[in-house]
Structure formats: structure tokens, C-alpha cells
Amino acid sequence: MTRVALIAHDDEKPEMIDLAQSYEATLSEFDLVGTGTTSKRIMAETDLTVERKESGPMGGDTQIGAEVAEGRMDGIVFLRDPLTAQPHEPDISALLRICDVHDVPLATTRTAAEYVLEGLARDGSDD
């Protein structure tokens, strides 16, 4: 099953919720994982089940990065706030880098997220 991570910084959580609601049918076909509060909010506002990792500052980004390194992640939607400094910036940079190293699609904007989700859904329907 296609495994996708959903991550959003605080200012981007409303956009992530809107994305999850708009793509709920597609996302329901995926094995979803996400960081703490993002996962909790998605599950509260949709019928989706999301495996919860730690919050980003508590190691959630690193946990998801480990899954990328292990070949267990097919795509990541990380709606991040590029204008606000994050206390766990090294973890964020490591996650972005590990996605590049392992050629895992990573979307950091709403438009890119839609392309990644639609592409993963199309690839999954070819199986």
C-alpha cells in the first residue's frame, strides 16, 4: 500500500486540513503517517486514520525521515512555513535532504501536494 506522510507547521495546519478534506477519497486509499498535532487534527476533521508520530520538535520529522531511509515512504506532504524560524530546523533540513537522497517525492506547497497525491494515486492504480 502507498505510504504517505502528512506534516504541517502551525500556520499551515488549516491548509493541511483543507487539503485532507478535499483529497479524503484519495488519501483513504493510502497508508497515512504524520506528526503529532497535524495527525490529530486530520483525524478529528476527516474520517481518515493517520499513524501518529511525535510532534516535529519532539522528533517526529526524524521518525519520518528514518522511514524514508528504510524505503518505507512513498511520498511526503510537508506544508511548511518558510517565513518563520523553527526550533527544529536541523531536523527539517535533514528530512528534506533524505527525501532528495532517496528520491522520495516531497511537496512543500498546496499545489505541489496536489500533484504528488494525484501522481501517487495514479501510480497506485497501475498495480
Q: Residue 72's domain spans which residues?
A: 3-124
How far is the C-alpha of 122 from the C-alpha of 115, rounded, in Å? 10
pTM of the model: 0.94
Q: What is the pLDDT of residue 127?
A: 55
The answer to which of 14-18, 44-48, 76-80, 91-95 has the lowest mean pLDDT is 91-95
Active site residues per annotation: 61
For residue 102, say whether it is annotated as part of any ligand binding site. no
Which amino acid is located at 84 in the chain?
A: T
**Is the CB of residue 83 less than 8 Å from the CB of residue 113?**
no
pLDDT class of 83 with cuts at 50, 70, 90:
confident
Please report, for the domain that includes residue 18, its CATH number.
Answer: 3.40.50.1380
Q: Which residue has the cell 483529497?
A: 23
**Is the CB of residue 91 less than 8 Å from the CB of residue 59?**
yes
Across the chain, mean pLDDT equals 94
Chain centroid to CA 23: 13
**pLDDT at residue 17 is higher than 70:** yes
For residue 38, say whether it is annotated as part of any ligand binding site. yes
For residue 88, say whether it is annotated as part of any ligand binding site. yes
